[in-house]
Amino acid sequence: ALQVDYIDLYLVHWPGASGVAPESPKHRSLREGSWKALESLYRQNKVRAIGVSNYTQRHLEEMREYAEIGPMVNQCELHPLCPQPGLLHCCHENNIAFTAYASLGESALLDERKDTVQLSQVCRRRPDLTRAQILLLWGLQHGVAVIPKATSVGHLQENIAVADRELSAEQMDMLDCIGEQPERRFCWNPATVA
């Protein structure tokens, strides 16, 4: 038992179920059943907020057909190589808080050898910021919450230091251009789930 009176946030982690083929229409009914269970917990005040993780725009639009209470959060992969503008717009339009994971591209975007021209240019123009801080600011300035991992006190301090920093509009545009290339994910692609 959790030994708490309530949970702050409860998310459905993935739009598909284990052991079910990704293309199976069964996923929809399983998603609906999971969501109805979360709505029940929310109504009983056992959960303060309910949401989803890895739901695409299609999955969110489908929820309108069965959800009495809309998701309050959608937690998804988001970084300049996987900008998901349609999903971001859908979440903003429907008052769904967007939480970005893998903001550093699973650390691949920190590796200068795998760099993009645009990220290199922004890094050169902003020597006061680390690559990680630039990537976190990109997400924050797109209106999303970022949840970076910190494996040391130094990483934690580096992450917190972005609170009073900002990228210029030109720097944001440069990073946004990275997403015009074919999307690159570092985590599983939820679009494969029916």
Residue 150 lies in a domain: yes
Residue 37 lies in a domain: no
Q: Confidence class of residue 179 from pLDDT cuts 50, 70 and 90?
A: confident
In the predicted structure, residue 177 carries a pLDDT above the cut 80? yes
Tell me what the mean pLDDT of segment 39-59 comes to.
98
Q: What are phi and psi of 78, to 5 degrees?
A: -155, 125
Q: Are 102 and 76 in contact (CB under 8 A)?
A: no
The pair of three-digit structure tokens given for residue 131, joined into one six-digit string: 């690559």
Partner residues linked to 82 by β-bridges: 79
The parent domain of residue 137 ranges over 104-181
Quote the pLDDT of residue 113.
Answer: 60
Residue 165 lies in a domain: yes
Residue 122 lies in a domain: yes
In the predicted structure, residue 180 carries a pLDDT above the cut 80? no
In the predicted structure, residue 162 carries a pLDDT above the cut 80? yes
Q: Are 35 and 67 in contact (CB under 8 A)?
A: yes
34-48, 99-113, 128-142, 167-181: least confidently modelled range: 99-113
Q: Confidence class of residue 115 from pLDDT cuts 50, 70 and 90?
A: low
The pair of three-digit structure tokens given for residue 93, joined into one six-digit string: 């339009």
Q: Confidence class of residue 118 from pLDDT cuts 50, 70 and 90?
A: confident
Residue 48 lies in a domain: no
Residue 15 lies in a domain: no
Residue 192 lies in a domain: no
Residue 163 lies in a domain: yes
pLDDT in tens, 56-105: 999 999 999 999 999 999 999 999 999 999 999 999 999 999 999 999 88
Mean residue pLDDT of the chain comes to: 93
Quote the pLDDT of residue 71.
Answer: 99
- The residue ranking higher by pLDDT, 105 or 134, is 134
Spatial separation of the C-alpha atoms in residues 12 and 26, rounded to whole Å: 16
The number of distinct structural domains making up the chain is 1
Q: pTM (2 decimals)? A: 0.92
In the predicted structure, residue 108 carries a pLDDT above the cut 90? no
Spatial separation of the C-alpha atoms in residues 56 and 86, rounded to whole Å: 9
Quote the pLDDT of residue 184.
Answer: 85
Residue with tokens 């290199």: 120
Q: Count the Cβ atoms, other than its own, within 10 Å of residue 159.
A: 19
Non-local (6+) Cβ contacts of 149 within 8 A are: 155
